[in-house]
Structure 1
Amino acid sequence: MNDPLFVQASVGCQMPVSDMQLLRWVISQQKQHQSGKGCCYTVRDAMGKNLIGLIMLQPKEQRMELSYWLSPSYWRQGLMSEALFCVLHEWHRYNPKTIVYSCCNVNNKASIALLEKIGMQNYIQLIG
């Protein structure tokens, strides 16, 4: 969490600051998944032991917001584009009429390129 690249890329993201906040977030993700209203996938290393990222789809105003995070040591290896493609493909298989969008910082060129690479047309570039 102290990596300068992570800090720069996550400007504006709400991150849990306590174990209780993290627990509440995990419980809310479980409830969304169980109700079919959203999902959260973990991205793990090749051995399946270490959590290296997350992909989330959460309901926002009749649409689904896509958000994701990947540990900086795994950036630029194509892992997140592959994982996002799989998650979105599976989501649209069961929810073909759902509009999915994403937000990213206007200065996060890698994220913008990633969203375009996976064919995302509904993304918002946030300033600041």
Structure 2
Amino acid sequence: MFPDLFRDDVFRIETRRLWLRWPTARDADSIQRLAGDQAVAEMTARIPLPLDRAAVDEFLVSSRAANASGTGLTLALCERARPGRAIGMIEIAPESEGGRSRLGYWLGRPYWGYGLMSEATEALVHAWFAWTPAARLDSSARVTNPASRRVLEKIGFVWSGRSFQHDPARGTESETDHFRLERGRWLVREGGDVPALAAAE
């Protein structure tokens, strides 16, 4: 799914304020603290509450394995001034059905409201379409998470439907808005050209 360049753990994408790099074992404490925040976890479909260290370690191992095999790409968000400290995560992973791929992300609550996730998603989506032959990328946001919806719409995703889901682990019902971005729409937004990606090997 991803080219060889992405499969080496020295790969990173640099933006104006962020490094997007492979997650490492050093990130475990930050992930547990930031992703385990109820306000963050409840805006996602995959982060369990409570978030224990075993679940974090399993996530790190599986993410790095997917990165190495090219079947997915999970990157830690870090401020450029502190590249060793993860403040969030972003990934593109295959869906279990339909052969499509899905964008997902979370950001620690102390970093909300500064446009960091928009910056990260724009960079990763650019890498996805610039360096793979993918025709489409899907994503979703809980109805109760308008900030996530704004992130997706800002980079060109369009609404494609709504679903109702039951979360047995939390005993809750949730409404989720679904979005998609087609390659053609992405190219139009890029002005018809694929600009160079600022990445370091």
TM-score for both structures, normalised by structure 1? 0.83
Query: 1:14 pairs with 47, 58, 68, which one?
Result: 47
CA contact (8 A) 1:39 1:58 kept: yes
CA contact (8 A) 1:103 1:126 kept: no
**Runs of 4+ that moved beyond 6 A:** none
Q: 1:38 Cα shift? A: 0.7
CA contact (8 A) 1:58 1:65 kept: yes
What's the C-alpha RMSD, in Å, of the aligned pairs?
Answer: 2.3
SS at match of 1:9: coil
User: How far apart in 2 are the matches of 1:40 and 1:31?
Assistant: 10
Structure 1's 19 and 5: CA in aligned 2 closer, same or farther, altered over 3 A? closer
* TM alignment of 1:38-77, pairs within 5 A: 38-47=72-81, 48-60=83-95, 61=97, 62-77=99-114
Query: 1:26 pairs with 40, 60, 71, which one?
Result: 60
Q: Which runs of 5+ in 1 are unaligned?
A: none
Structure 1's 14 and 72: CA in aligned 2 closer, same or farther, altered over 3 A? closer
User: How far apart in 1 are the matches of 2:134 and 2:159?
Assistant: 14
Q: 1:45 Cα shift? A: 2.1
Structure 1's 19 and 4: CA in aligned 2 closer, same or farther, altered over 3 A? closer
Q: Structure 1 residue 121 and structure 2 residue 154: aligned?
A: no
Aligned positions, number: 127
Q: 1:75 Cα shift? A: 1.0
Larger relative contact order (Cα-Cα within 8 Å, sequence gap ≥ 6)? 2
SS at match of 1:54: strand
SS at match of 1:96: coil
Instruction: Output one character per residue of 1:15-46: Cα deviation in whole Å (capped at 9) or x when no partner.
Output: 38333332222222122112211100110123
Q: Which amino acid aligns with 2:73?
A: C
Which of these two proteins has the greater Rg computed from alpha carbons? 2
CA contact (8 A) 1:101 1:123 kept: no
Identity percentage of aligned residues? 28
